[in-house]
């Protein structure tokens, strides 16, 4: 994670259902809608920050309601394709709680962000000491087999739990509500506990007993 920087108090919002960005992780995005191309231009000309947040129930199709907790992401890679799309990579820095949406003249939505309570997002966390990595990976193997996810298990088994938990939270086919729950978990240890429960629940619902 980038050191010595703090995300801004006002953020442009990029609402994507089913997409979360845990702090410290990297999210590649293919941006093509004109309003979000405008947003990227403005971010690149400013502090490079964008607020990733999920839509939720309520609002309208044009202006859906938004979850109150998202992640401030900083653009760390940016390129333009021949057909005018932007390919960017966001680095998650810190989660935020949306205080209010701003009455902005921009074509994209803006919000005032409160980072209190998420200060630990900027600090390293030793998750490997939490315990049963083998048990977690056993449930994950069965869940990946159930959902058809292919993985490099040699690399996974040698990776730190912090990376495994956050990357799986991003890519696994959990429903948006479950993904939001994972994002909002206070610590990565709590995120791992919730993820284990979600994976075990899916296995049980499918009739698979798994290895664990």
Give the pLDDT confidence of 33-50 residue by residue, as tens digits. 999 999 999 999 999 999
Looking at residue 93, its pLDDT comes to 95
Q: Are residues 36 and 92 in the same domain?
A: yes
Q: Are residues 150 and 193 in the same domain?
A: yes
pLDDT reading at 1 higher than 50: no
Q: Are residues 167 and 86 in the same domain?
A: no
Q: Are residues 51 and 136 in the same domain?
A: no
pLDDT, average across residues 11-24: 96
Q: Are residues 96 and 140 in the same domain?
A: no
pLDDT digits 0-9 by tens, 108-148: 999 999 999 998 887 766 555 556 788 999 999 999 999 99
Question: Into how many domains does the chain fold?
Answer: 2
Looking at residue 133, its pLDDT comes to 86
Looking at residue 131, its pLDDT comes to 60
- 72 domain-assigned: yes
Q: Are residues 116 and 137 in the same domain?
A: no
Domain containing 163 equals 128-206
pLDDT reading at 100 higher than 60: yes
pLDDT, average across residues 138-161: 93
- 192 domain-assigned: yes
Given 80, 97, 122, which residue is the final one in a domain?
122
Q: Are residues 109 and 29 in the same domain?
A: yes
Q: Are residues 105 and 177 in the same domain?
A: no
- 51 domain-assigned: yes
Inter-axis angle of helices 188-206 and 161-171, nearest 10: 50
pLDDT, average across residues 159-178: 92
pLDDT, average across residues 194-198: 95
pLDDT, average across residues 188-208: 91
Q: Are residues 72 and 93 in the same domain?
A: yes
pLDDT reading at 31 higher than 70: yes
Looking at residue 16, its pLDDT comes to 96
Looking at residue 129, its pLDDT comes to 53
Q: Considering the entire predicted model, what is its pTM?
A: 0.89
Q: What is the CATH number of the domain that holds 107?
A: 2.30.130.40
Q: Are residues 21 and 100 in the same domain?
A: yes
Looking at residue 162, its pLDDT comes to 84
pLDDT reading at 168 higher than 90: yes
Given 122, 141, 159, which residue is the final one in a domain?
122
pLDDT reading at 193 higher than 50: yes
Q: Are residues 157 and 78 in the same domain?
A: no
Given 102, 122, 142, which residue is the final one in a domain?
122
- 2 domain-assigned: no
pLDDT digits 0-9 by tens, 125-135: 655 555 678 89
């Amino acid at each position: 994670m980038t050191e010595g920087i703090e995300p801004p108090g006002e953020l442009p919002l990029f609402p994507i259902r089913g997409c979360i960005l845990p702090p410290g992780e990297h999210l590649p995005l293919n941006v093509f809608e004109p309003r979000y191309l405008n947003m990227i231009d403005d971010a690149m000309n400013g502090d490079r920050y964008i607020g990733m947040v999920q839509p939720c129930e309520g609002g309208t199709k044009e202006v859906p309601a938004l979850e109150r907790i998202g992640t401030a992401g900083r653009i760390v890679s940016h390129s333009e394709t021949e057909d005018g799309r932007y390919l960017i990579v966001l680095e998650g820095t810190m989660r935020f709680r949306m205080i209010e949406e701003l009455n902005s003249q921009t074509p994209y939505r803006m919000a005032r962000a409160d980072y209190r309570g998420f200060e630990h997002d900027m600090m390293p966390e030793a998750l490997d000491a939490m315990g049963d990595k083998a048990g977690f990976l056993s449930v994950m193997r069965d869940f990946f087999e159930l959902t058809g996810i292919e993985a490099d298990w040699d690399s996974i088994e040698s990776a730190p739990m912090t990376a495994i938990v956050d990357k799986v939270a991003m890519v696994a086919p959990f429903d948006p509500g479950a993904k939001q729950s994972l994002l909002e978990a206070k610590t990565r240890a709590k995120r791992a506990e919730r993820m284990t429960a979600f994976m075990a629940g899916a296995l049980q619902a499918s009739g698979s007993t798994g290895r664990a």
